[in-house]
Structure 1
């Protein structure tokens, strides 16, 4: 994905609510340089984000403001790794269907994974990883699916070998280290998500050492919670996100640790 078009709904809603919003296209994504859809090293991608967002926070107009991260899907993994690099720097995070674990429904057979992992050393850029069409699996709205397919800034081919290997290794690493997460966070996930595993978002909530943590599961919603759901679903998700941010957008000196943890399963049925 990329941040200027496919993330516009999130950016506009947050900006209208009074937040300063900054986004970045990862290398190999959107308008950034690099072979499209190619991630040779995930840690370098995270370092790019760390440098950029730290520089944003150091701008004169932002120095005394609270700092929140928001990441969707792979961006959720990036957020958790940014927090790992600077555990006390960020005041909170919103994780939307985070890539803490790739859903079994879209992972190749273990034998295939083992074979492709070996091949990635020789043909890292090849697009031969089998799997379901992510666009078809992630976006409930047919109109949004078509917009993604028509957006030249979005990579829509099969995963490149090295990219797939990096995503798998990162998701395994994050899943093993969920208990090290300590910042305040809200994690939202669709119960019908077949791209990233909602059970691992629940595990993040249950095992993270954070004292201020909230998990919201939306039965029937898919992966793209903030863009490709019916309008009533989008309103609900953004209301929850903005309410969580508003409650914490006071001053860094406030006692954040006094907030309780919350697990909320919305019982309503969604289209």
Structure 2
């Protein structure tokens, strides 16, 4: 497996190719659209699948990106990597991110975002009812994916969590006493970016050129540090996951960097140990940071080799189970 990030440069995820040439090279069909959510906001969605009529996809992989990210740029490279192994991959831009409506980085209530994801992913599954379906979440997207599974775990055949926000590192939390004052700040000035923390990207992507690639995204929302209401909501989400992760029954794989500065791997370990799932695996990679795509080429291949192997095995298991049931 060779992840497409290895073809990128600091100016473009497609290297020297255009986006269209990139998809053609990797034999991927790509589609984009918008949906309207319950608040009448336009939410950007897209999908990737192998450009082949010879066989049906192995399954659906629904991707949820992290905070201050989007479904395009670096995330679409992982989508292409997964699609090349035979899966239909779908993703959306969360409210306030990418091409979707909303104030940059403003997520005062995570349930609205969860509802957007469920609406879009359910529509993809409805159009492909015979395919096993998996969730893939990075960072904040990992927390959202857990919340989705807690709501409708029966609807998913597996869950992959990369650097999931199961708990925010003490090194990254707002400085005391600001954390204690967040409820007041969120109430009276929800969009006020009062949260004092170190820049996320500087401690998320280990390779410098990949940090520059992230910064060169022309569609990147300048959300910067989380607004007060968003920061408070993230703390609430982490506490909710901690209190309810024992209800997680879906098969899952967690991959996490041991040196993750943003989301401490110990919180992921707690979720792994507490979950009721009989099919669960946690892989902590020594020396790796928050965004695993930001590692060296060798480490990227190691991480995503683990992910794709797990995904292929569980798609085959789900298919076998379906055949036996029918």
Task: With the length of structure 1 as denominator, give the TM-score of the two structures.
Answer: 0.90
The alignment status of 1:234 with 2:296, answered yes or no, reads: no
Q: Work out which of the residue numbers 191, 210, 216 in structure 2 matches 1:150.
A: 216
The equivalent residue for 1:32 is: 100
* Richer in strand (by share): 2
State the alpha-carbon separation in 2 of the partners of residues 132 and 114 from structure 1.
18
* Distance in 1 between residues matched to 2:222 and 2:88, nearest whole Å: 27
Q: Distance in 1 between matches of 2:221 and 2:77?
A: 16
Give the aligned partner of residue 259 of structure 1: none
**2:254 aligns to what SS in structure 1?**
strand
Per the TM alignment, residue 40 of structure 1 is displaced from its structure 2 partner at its CA by: 2.3
SS in 2 for 1:148: helix
Q: CA deviation at 1:251?
A: 5.6
Size of the aligned set, in residue pairs, is 253
Map of 1:79 onto structure 2: 145
TM-score by length of 2: 0.75
Any runs of at least 4 consecutive aligned residues in structure 1 with deviations exceeding 4 A, and if so which? 253-256
Residues 126-166 of structure 1 show CA distances to partners (whole Å, capped at 9, x for unaligned) of 11210011111111111111122222424441211111111
2:188 match: secondary structure: coil
Counterparts of residues 117-266 of structure 1 (less than 5 Å) = 117-151=183-217, 152-225=219-292, 227-250=293-316, 252=318, 254=320
Q: Decide which of 126, 149, 157 is 1:58's aligned counterpart.
A: 126
CA contact (8 A) 2:104 2:223 kept: no
Q: Deviations over 1:26-82 (max 9, x none)?
A: 0101110011111121111111101110111001xx110000000000000010000
**Stretches of structure 2 lacking an aligned partner (at least 5 in a row):** 1-68
Q: Identify the residue that residue 166 of structure 2 maps to in structure 1.
A: 100
